[in-house]
Amino acid sequence: MSSTERTRVLILISGSGTNLQAIIDSQAKGELNIDIVGVISDRPDAYGLQRAAKAHIHTEIIDYKSHKSRKSFDAALTALLTKLHPDLIVLAGYMRILAEATVNAYEGKLLNVHPSLLPAYPGLNTYARALAAGEIWHGSTVHFVVPELDAGPPILQYRVKITANETEAALQARVQQGEYIIYPQAINWFTEGRITYGDGQASVDGKILTKPFIINEIE
């Protein structure tokens, strides 16, 4: 992809769309050389759909509850992905696990942000689990998506130091502020051809990434 060609980005959401908004804002500022070709939600009541509509971005709803089977839902999503033919698919608070066939079809073109310092705490309830374990650090990770849940190679991490008497809500708010920084950054690196995926590994500027880049919260 040339430096002048805009990357076709498709964003999948399930909820409020705060990371979607961060990406929209970065694009509006001229920080991302992308066209957001669509926002897909698996929930018709997701507030992120309103954010997209306000930014005049095409939206689609594939309501999981309206499909009789997982196979039917996956087929509808596959058809829509084919129609929109994105260069990059961004999962921004998308709470459905993609079918293995979908992940394989878009290998190296799928990014996710997960609220933990992967490989620690894959899955749900990461803030509560980190606090219960007495962790010193928590954060979020942008990573390539592979069929195994939250197991793709990490690219960028944002770390915050857990304070004394930290609440789950306060920790989540701090971590999410970092996501609004690292997600657009990772997308930018993708559009510039700086980050790539192959053989189960992420590379940056042609070199295999043995550990993610880390940005610490500014105190």
3-state SS assignment for residue 167 = coil
- H or E, element range at 154: strand 154-161
Q: Give 218's DSSP letter.
A: P
> Which one of 56, 67, 85, 114 is the catalytic residue?
114
Of 129, 97, 100, whose CA–CA distance to 112 is shortest? 97
Active-site residue flag, 67: no
Q: Which of 16, 12, 28, 3 lies closest to 184, judged by CA? A: 28
Give the Cβ contact number of residue 118 at 10 Å. 22
CB burial class (10 A; 0-12, 13-18, 19+) of residue 178?
buried
Catalytic site residues? Answer: 114
